[in-house]
Structure 1
């Protein structure tokens, strides 16, 4: 089913009030200050109760992955004899607003948490099963986004139950799940549109063999990032497909035998993330960590799932980097390096790992 409606702002608020009884509604919102620079605003996901609370003009700095994988969440509580699973604080279903690139990122999150091996991540799954999605129509370009280059500028009609346009508060309804909320609404002609072209165009690298991959790992192009990157991890926190986390046991001061285990967002860019027992560390330098992050998105994820890049071209990493390091330029550098590497292979230049 596909129907379309036009609502006034007052009708939208009435709709949100009705939806909020069953759904916790999450959308990008504007908070004053706290942005990239001192006086910049922050755009991040929060629960909303009114349509006008949604930020349409600017892309959120943080992605909607925080709704399904919170920055910090308690997994279970424990004593010296027993443990108890942490309950959800809100039993309502979730209605999450996002753009096409954001909805496409959920498919990657699903692969990592639900399809990566024989076990599914229980804490992700219980939130994911509650999640429904509302598409936010993109009417403007955003600096650094290149979703059209990756085909993530569109999302299938079955991936979302409802779509919203800021202009005129027009709604496209795709799911019977929400049909009852529009019984008195005025029907109109509206079909959500998706970006057809980005100002920034990126040729995403295609690594065609293990030899190309191994030669690329030791290519001198990575030296630049030892000098520029400060390894703050902001790019991975902002990224809508990064999934690294760590767990910490918190012992209560009143009773050292009682506490809770929390899962928190982590980053492969932070020193010590890969440190093992005996203080063995795989990636000691910033360039090593940056290379690992980039090659996992370009090559590693696809080698595991065979579904393409671990990227949706949202541009958040560029927008949030304090050192103005361009991810799209890094991809261009990889393409240039691959031209050199393929010429070396053609000429039979020896290489040893």
Structure 2
């Protein structure tokens, strides 16, 4: 069933939904961008449909709603600890197909990896419902079609914006009653079929090729280009690495809170062990680790899809203009080179 809503009608819908849901969507923050007098788009709570940014890809992904950059997981004193509380309302998140697919990958990491669920992620994730924002054109850094992340059926509702307002389709019976009384109009979701940038997805045939790829000279260029700032992983919709930090209160040195804080495999010291040993000491080592994790290791572990969903945020946020899809293509060419040399 499809529904046609004007913006005032959509605002009224949001008002009714707010009794049960917190609504999150891409939202514009003026003058808060990376450079002077620039804006930024990131996920935040919205109360009106016109607050949602439709014509620009968000600079950061929807994962910040479920697993924020900084999150208190419990409070402690010298005698006891108390787990942090979470909200009671459900979460309704407006997002595009690639980001919905990214949540599927995050779910595997947080909920299925090793058979132990991360309770701090799960207690939020269980309250989430998706509203698919129809995406048929994409942007110049997108390569979701190549990664197979341009389509999804995992949504409670889908929405299209046009000059007359918003069109919704609502397959979720739990959400559908909220649309009763609005004008009905047929609506079938469309998906993007071709990006401006096409990526050749490499397949590594065996461990011998993998070991040779790790030593390939293609990685060395990143020693001169990558500054190990971690911007790519913060913006990434599938990165899940974090560390924990204890915050001791100034007022009471025996009380504080433990926080989970987003971390990055691209930052020096990420893999530092007791005694000071590091496994990846150069930008080239760290870039190789990240690329192989996104386009080999995850799929090798879980056996379904590559971890990268082709949202392109890493390329857009990189201050050194390193293109992740171009790097994947270079890796595909390197694999062909290695395989051809083995056949000689």
Q: Secondary structure at the match of 2:257?
A: strand
Q: Secondary structure at the match of 2:267?
A: coil
Residue in structure 2 matched with residue 205 of structure 1 by the alignment: 202
Q: Secondary structure at the match of 1:110?
A: helix
Which of 44, 47, 52 is the equivalent residue of 2:45?
47
Residue in structure 2 matched with residue 334 of structure 1 by the alignment: 331
21-30 or 131-140: which moved more?
Answer: 131-140
User: Once the two structures are superposed, what CA deviation does each residue of 1:221-274 show, in whole Å capped at 9, x if it has no partner?
Assistant: 001000001111000011100101000011112221111100011100011111
Which of 183, 188, 206 is the equivalent residue of 1:186?
183
Residue in structure 1 matched with residue 271 of structure 2 by the alignment: 274
Rounded Cα–Cα distance in structure 2 between residues aligned with 1:34 and 1:225: 29
User: Aligned-pair distance for 1:303?
Assistant: 1.3
Rounded Cα–Cα distance in structure 2 between residues aligned with 1:257 and 1:57: 50
User: Once the two structures are superposed, what CA deviation does each residue of 1:87-124 show, in whole Å capped at 9, x if it has no partner?
Assistant: 01x31100011100010001000000001002110000
Which of 26, 29, 53 is the equivalent residue of 1:28?
26
Alpha-carbon RMSD: 1.0
Residue in structure 1 matched with residue 143 of structure 2 by the alignment: 146
User: Once the two structures are superposed, what CA deviation does each residue of 1:164-211 show, in whole Å capped at 9, x if it has no partner?
Assistant: 111131001111111211111110011111111111111111111111
Q: Secondary structure at the match of 1:105?
A: helix
TM-score, structure 2 normalization: 0.98
Q: Secondary structure at the match of 2:74?
A: strand
Which of 235, 239, 243 is the equivalent residue of 2:240?
243
User: Aligned-pair distance for 1:14?
Assistant: 0.1
Residue in structure 2 matched with residue 97 of structure 1 by the alignment: 94
Residue in structure 1 matched with residue 288 of structure 2 by the alignment: 291
- List aligned pairs for 1:229-268, cutoff 5 A: 229-268=226-265
User: Aligned-pair distance for 1:141?
Assistant: 2.6
Residue in structure 1 matched with residue 160 of structure 2 by the alignment: 165
User: Aligned-pair distance for 1:9?
Assistant: 0.8
User: Aligned-pair distance for 1:12?
Assistant: 0.3
Rounded Cα–Cα distance in structure 2 between residues aligned with 1:139 and 1:291: 32
Does the CA contact (< 8 Å) of 1:143 and 1:319 recur in 2? no
Residue in structure 2 matched with residue 351 of structure 1 by the alignment: none
Does the CA contact (< 8 Å) of 2:90 and 2:128 recur in 1? yes
User: Aligned-pair distance for 1:36?
Assistant: 4.2
Q: Secondary structure at the match of 1:176?
A: coil
Stretches of structure 2 that go unaligned for 5 or more consecutive residues are none
Q: Secondary structure at the match of 2:145?
A: helix
58-67 or 135-144: which moved more?
Answer: 135-144
Does the CA contact (< 8 Å) of 2:137 and 2:195 recur in 1? no
Residue in structure 2 matched with residue 61 of structure 1 by the alignment: 59
Stretches of structure 1 that go unaligned for 5 or more consecutive residues are 348-353
Runs of 4+ that moved beyond 4 A: none
Q: Secondary structure at the match of 1:30?
A: strand
Q: Secondary structure at the match of 1:330?
A: helix
Residue in structure 1 matched with residue 211 of structure 2 by the alignment: 214
Rounded Cα–Cα distance in structure 1 between residues aligned with 2:73 and 2:20: 24
175-184 or 62-71: which moved more?
Answer: 175-184
TM-score, structure 1 normalization: 0.95
Which of 35, 45, 54 is the equivalent residue of 1:37?
35
Which of 115, 130, 144 is the equivalent residue of 1:133?
130
